[in-house]
Amino acid sequence: MSKYLQVFKISLEQEFAYRLNFIMWRIRNVLQILVVFFLWDSIFYFQGRELFGYDRDKILTYVFGLIFVKAFVLSARAQDVAGEIGRGEILNSLLKPLNYFKYWLTRDISSKSLNLFFAVIEFGFLFIILKPPFFFQTNPLIIFLFFLCILIAMFIFYLIVFLVNAIPFWAPEMSWGGHFLVTIILVEFLSGSLFPLDILPQNIQNILNLTPFPYLIYFPLQVYLGKIEGLLILKGIIISVVWVLVLWFVMNWIWKKGLKAYQAYGR
């Protein structure tokens, strides 16, 4: 266990090594939220207007909730895995008594905790400036379920990233392409990090709800906002847990094959 504690420590130090980079990235994050905030703020400019079942308070809570959920879920160091494979640096880890999956999971968690810390600061900052109407959930059961969903979401995202990052085992030049396709297009678009998914037509939503993507951002936030209740929460949790299991098995299978291909190939 102390192995991974040390991995956690060194990862944190590594994050701090690129201070300027880190700051720029946080600024980008804040700007992104501002854009989405002002977009929705202007749409709901008239008092009492309600669209897609959202009033101004709830949509702005959604936008502010994004800060947290994204910091928890969508930050992953493991995106560097593809590069490690492509450059052959993975060999350094394979030579050691170290579990590569746990190694990157630990690095992810360290990155996430740092993000969360800054997300709290940014939240406070934006809250003071914009004075948005924020919906504070008070039901402890719902808050518990919200955090449970977040935990599941973290695992789903980590597994997706780890899976996509295995591509260079077979196609070393694909390291960036896979990342782009999955994390930029699929995740950003389909997870609800740009808009709440229930503004989409119902039949598209029905299909989306069977994929793992809504459970990354949209679903946990809906749980928090109290827009999903009772059995529907249970259904969502079951579907997302099934996805964790499916992705876990696929990931293991792909990595076993990938390492074998790599060991047969030898770069």
Partner 1 sequence: MGKNLKNTSENTVIVEHLVKNFEVVEKKGGFLDGLKNLVSPQKKLVEALKNISFSISQGELVGFIGPNGAGKTTTLKVLSGLLYPTSGFTQVLGYAPWDRKPDYLKQISLVMGQKNQLWWDLPAIETFKLNKAIYELPDSVYKKNLEELVDLMDAKNLLYTQVRRLSLGQRMKLELIASLLHKPKILFLDEPTIGLDVVAQQKVRDFIFDYNRRYKATIILTSHNMEDLMDLAKRVIVINKGEIMFDGNLKELINEFAKEKVIKVYLSKNTDMKEVEKIGKVKRVNFPQITLSVPREATAVAASEILQNFPVADLTIEEEPVEEIIRRIFKGEISQKNTSVPS
Instruction: List residues near partner 1 by CB under 8 A.
Output: 2-3, 5-7, 9-10, 13-14, 17-18, 88-89, 91-92, 94-98, 260, 263-266
Least CB distance from residue 97 to partner 1, whole Å? 4
Q: What is the C-alpha to C-alpha distance for residues 260 and 267, in angstroms, rounded to an integer?
A: 13
Q: What contacts 85, CB < 8 A, 6 or more positions away?
A: 165, 166, 168, 169, 172, 175, 258, 262
Residue placing its CB nearer to partner 1 in the complex, 43 or 171: 171
With beta carbons less than 8 A apart as the criterion, state whether 168 and 89 touch. no
Compute the distance between CA of residue 144 and CA of residue 152 in angstroms, rounded to an integer. Answer: 13
Q: Whole-number minimum distance, CB 98 to partner 1, in Å? A: 5
- Number of helices (H), then strands (E), belonging to the chain: the values are 12, 0
Choose between 127 and 176: whose C-beta lies nearer to partner 1: 176
Nearer CB in complex with partner 1: 134/170: 170
Report the nearest approach of partner 1 to the CB of residue 25 (Å).
Answer: 16
Q: In the bound complex, what is the minimum distance in angstroms from residue 109's beta carbon to partner 1? A: 16
The four Cα atoms 130, 119, 214, 35 give a dihedral, to 10 degrees, of: 40
Q: How far is the CB of 16 from partner 1 (least distance, A)?
A: 9
Closer of 144 and 253 to partner 1 (Cβ): 253
- Specify the residue, 50 or 89, whose C-beta has the smaller distance to partner 1: 89
Rounded CA gap, 25 and 125, in Å?
16
